[in-house]
Chain A
Amino acid sequence: MEAFAAALVALVTIACSAAESPSAPCAICPPGAVGPAGHAAEGISAGIYPGMQPDPLANGLGVSSCGTVSCHGGPKAGNHDVQSFAFTIWMNDDPHSRAYEVLHEPRSQRMARLLGLGEAHRARECLACHSMQNESRGPLPPEVLADGVGCGSCHGDSTQWQQIHYLPDWKRLSIAEREALGYRDLGSVTTRVNNCIPCHVGDASQEVNHDLIAAGHPRLSFEFAAYQRLWPRHWTPSGKVESQPDFTARSWALGQAATLEAVAKLLEVRAERATADLAAERPHRWPEFAEFDCYACHKALGPRSYTAAHAGGFQNPFPGQPSWQPWYVSASRLLDVAAATTTVPGTRAVGASAVDIRRVLEPDWSVTDKERLDRVLLEARGLARAARQATRELESRDRIVLDVSHDRLDALVADAPPEWRFWDAAVQTLLVMEAAGGGPARIGVWRSDQRQAATADTRQALEELRDSLRFPPGADSPQGFSPVRFNRDRVAVPLPEAVRP
Chain B
Amino acid sequence: MSLNIRIASQLIAAFIVCLGTAGVGRAAPPGDEPLPRPAFRYTGADLCVKCHRSEQGEWCDVATTAAWRHDAHSRSHEALSSDNERTRAMEVALGIKAAATASCVACHTHPVDEPAVDEETNVLHAGISCETCHGAGSGYLDPHMQKSWRFLSSAEKEAFGMHDLRNPVAKAKNCLSCHLGEVATNRIITHQMYAAGHPPLPAFEMEAFGAGMGRHWKRVWEKSPQIQEQAAKAGYETEGACELSRSLVGSLVALQESVHLARDYAAAAETNAKDRPWPELAVYDCQACHHVLAVPSWRQEAGYGQLVPGRPSLVRWPRRLAAVAFEQAGMATDVDALLSPVVGVLNSRPFGTADGLRRVAEDSGREIDQAIEALVRWRRDETLADRERVAIEQILASGQNVGDFESARLLAWGLIHGLSSNADWPEDVRARKIAELTALLALEFPTPAYPSPPAQEKPFWQTSLAAAPATDIGRVRAAFELPSAARKPAPTVIEVIPTPR
Contact = CB atoms under 8 A, between A and B. Distances in A.
Q: Note whether A and B form a binding pair.
A: yes
Interface of A: 114-115, 209-216, 283-287, 289, 294-295, 297-303, 313-315, 318-321, 364, 366-368, 474-477, 479
The 5 A-B residue pairs whose C-beta atoms are closest, nearest first, are A214-B310, A302-B466, A320-B195, A319-B195, A476-B293
B278 interface: yes
B350 A285 contact: yes
Contacts of A300: 290-292, 465-466, 470
A463 B246 CA distance: 59
Interface stretch (B25-33, B219-227, B294-302): B294-302
Interface in B177-197: 190-197
Interface of B: 89, 92-94, 190-197, 200, 277-279, 281, 286, 289-295, 297, 300, 303-304, 308-311, 347-351, 464-467, 470-471
Contact of B192 (A211, A294, A318): A318
Contacts of A320: 190-192, 194-196, 281
Contact of A114 (B294, B304, B351): B304
10 contacts: A114-B303, A298-B293, A300-B465, A300-B470, A301-B465, A302-B467, A313-B93, A314-B195, A320-B192, A320-B281
A286 B93 contact: no
B300 A475 contact: no
Contact of B196 (A210, A213, A214, A319): A319
A298 B297 CA distance: 12
Contacts of B190: 320
A319 B351 contact: no
Contacts of A315: 93
A214 B191 contact: no
Q: Is the interface of A mostly helix, strand, loop or mixed?
A: loop
B93 A319 contact: yes
A427 to B, nearest CB: 15
Contact of A301 (B192, B196, B200, B278): B200
A151 to B, nearest CB: 32
Contact of B349 (A114, A284, A319, A321): A284
A108 to B, nearest CB: 13
A477 B304 contact: no
A405 B192 CA distance: 38
A114 B309 contact: yes
Contacts of B471: 474
Given A301-B286, A301-B466, A475 B279 contact: no
A298 B294 CA distance: 10
Contacts of B290: 297-301
B347 A303 contact: no
A368 B17 CA distance: 44
Contacts of A299: 290, 292
Contacts of A289: 310, 350
Contacts of B291: 298, 300
Nearest to B350: A287
Nearest to A476: B293
A476 B349 contact: no
A367 B292 contact: no
A468 B215 CA distance: 49
B277 A367 contact: yes
Contacts of B292: 298-300, 475-477, 479
A476 B297 contact: yes
Contact of B310 (A213, A368, A477): A213
Contacts of A294: 293
A284 B197 CA distance: 32
Contacts of A215: 309-310
A139 to B, nearest CB: 27
Counting chain B CB atoms within 10 Å of each CB, the highest count among A114, A216, A313 belongs to A114
Contact of B289 (A297, A367, A476): A297
Contacts of A477: 292-294
B281 A475 contact: no
Given A210-B310, A299-B290, A475 B295 contact: yes
Counting chain A CB atoms within 10 Å of each CB, the highest count among B197, B290, B300, B309 belongs to B309
